[in-house]
Amino acid sequence: MYVTRFAPSPTGPLHLGHAYSAAIGFLRARKKAGQFLLRIEDIDQSRSRDHWENQIYDDLSWIGLTWQPNVMRQSERMPEYQKAIRKLGKLGLLYPCSCTRGDIKQALAAPQEGTPKNGPDGLIYPGICRHRSISDARSNDAIRLNIKQAVQYLDKGKILKNLAFSENGPIYDGSYSLADIEFTTQVGDFVIARRDMGTSYHLSVVVDDHASGVTEVVRGADLWEATPIHRLLYALLDMPAPAWHHHDLIRDTDGKRLAKRDDARSIKSFRDAGDTPEQVLAHVGLDGVL
Ligand code: GLU
């Protein structure tokens, strides 16, 4: 059965881009007589708020969307993330890291010529803490994946050269091979668990989509670049990967991507101004779809 999900973070109001994303997922599930799930991505407890979570339910119902009753909340799933971290740790692929952004920036100030500084997960980590052992992790350390060892581990099983993900979207349609991605130089040692958080966006999303039986991840094209990381994690955790559908992004009149801080484009502001749900969906090109 087809299963997809909408996975907002309760850190601000949903805007037109979220309405579009949620509606696309809902419609794809409806077309395939599948299930549409809702997941609250609240691992960042310093920014998540109950009132934003409540407004997510409120806005989505107002638009006319329905979802399966079992809403997953990431803040309740720490034991599952810990299990996955232990699995990666047992493979010898993790190390603790105490670097601040400032430390990383400083170390990258004089990069070797031709070395890209930014990967899909931000600054490419220069490996300052790579010599440390996971057994020496201190409570406020982050945990990173040693990407070189991860690649070697998959290479040994001849997995990496065949690694691909299935994309059914407007940017790409077909099987997208990861064989040409230089993970060590283009992605780097990304964070598996953020300091004081016990997990990261990448780890949680993979663990949760797997646990929920998601068969197709529907999300915005801004997350296209994170997909090789997610596909790699599925392989390391020995989990079957879903397919992906990255949809186009809704932009404001200046062509800029909408962000949570753009309150003016929030669903709530359109509701308050007297728009109907149909009008809100029409703003994102989805006239008469529900
Ligand atoms: N929580 C993410 C966001 O609000 C979406 C994650 C995903 O769909 O993979 O952008």
Ligand 1: residue whose CA is nearest its atom 3:
8
Q: Identify the pLDDT of residue 45.
A: 95
Instruction: Out of 117-121, 179-183, 200-204, pick the least confident.
Output: 117-121
* Among 15, 30, 32, CA closest to 284: 15
**Residue partners of 223: CB distance under 8 A and separation at least 6:** 246
Ligand 1 atom nearest 8 alpha carbon: 4
Instruction: Name the pTM for this structure.
Output: 0.95
Rounded to an integer, the average pLDDT of 87-93 is 97
Q: Identify the pLDDT of residue 259.
A: 64
Ligand 1 cavity residues, CB under 6 Å: 7-9, 41, 205, 219, 223
- Residue to mutate (ligand 1; options 219, 230, 246; most atoms within 8 A of CB): 219
For 265, the token pair is 């484009």
Ligand 1: residue whose CA is nearest its atom 1:
8
Ligand 1 atom nearest 230 alpha carbon: 9
- The DSSP element (H or E) to which 150 belongs, if any, is helix 147-156
For 235, the token pair is 């392989």
For 135, the token pair is 């057994």
Task: Determine contact, residues 121/202, Cβ cutoff 8 Å.
Answer: yes
Ligand 1: residue whose CA is nearest its atom 4:
8
For the beta carbon of residue 157, count every other beta carbon within 10 angstroms: 10
pLDDT in tens, 91-118: 999 999 999 999 999 888 876 666 778 8
For 207, the token pair is 């663990």
Confidence of residue 290 (pLDDT cuts 50, 70, 90): confident
| Residue position matching structure tokens 């809702």 | 38
pLDDT in tens, 187-199: 999 999 999 899 9
Q: Identify the pLDDT of residue 113.
A: 60
Ligand 1 atom nearest 226 alpha carbon: 9
Measured between alpha carbons, how far is 67 from 5 in angstroms, rounded to an integer? 9
Q: Is the pLDDT reported for residue 264 higher than 70?
A: no
Domain ranges of the chain: 1-76+251-290, 78-202
Q: Is the pLDDT reported for residue 219 higher than 90?
A: yes
pLDDT in tens, 126-175: 999 999 999 999 999 999 999 999 999 999 999 999 999 999 999 999 99
Task: Give the torsion through C-alpha atoms of 8, 172, 199, 137, to 10 deg.
Answer: -160
pLDDT in tens, 22-80: 999 999 999 999 999 999 999 999 999 999 999 999 999 999 999 999 999 999 999 99
| Residue position matching structure tokens 């699995």 | 87
Q: Identify the pLDDT of residue 260.
A: 61
Ligand 1 atom nearest 218 alpha carbon: 8
Which CATH class, in words, describes the domain spanning 1-76+251-290?
alpha beta
Ligand 1 atom nearest 219 alpha carbon: 8
**Residue partners of 272: CB distance under 8 A and separation at least 6:** none
Ligand 1 centre and the CA of 219: distance in Å?
7
* Among 218, 204, 239, 227, CA closest to 4: 218
Query: By percentage, how much of the chain surpasses pLDDT 90?
Result: 86
Ligand 1 centre and the CA of 155: distance in Å?
30
Ligand 1 centre and the CA of 115: distance in Å?
29
Which overall architecture, per CATH, does domain 78-202 show?
A: Alpha-Beta Complex (3.90)
Phi, psi angles (nearest 5°) of residue 121: -110, 30
Measured between alpha carbons, how far is 230 from 165 in angstroms, rounded to an integer? 10
Measured between alpha carbons, how far is 156 from 151 in angstroms, rounded to an integer? 9
Ligand 1 centre and the CA of 9: distance in Å?
7
Burial 253-263, CB ≥16 within 10 A → b, else e:
eeeeebebebe
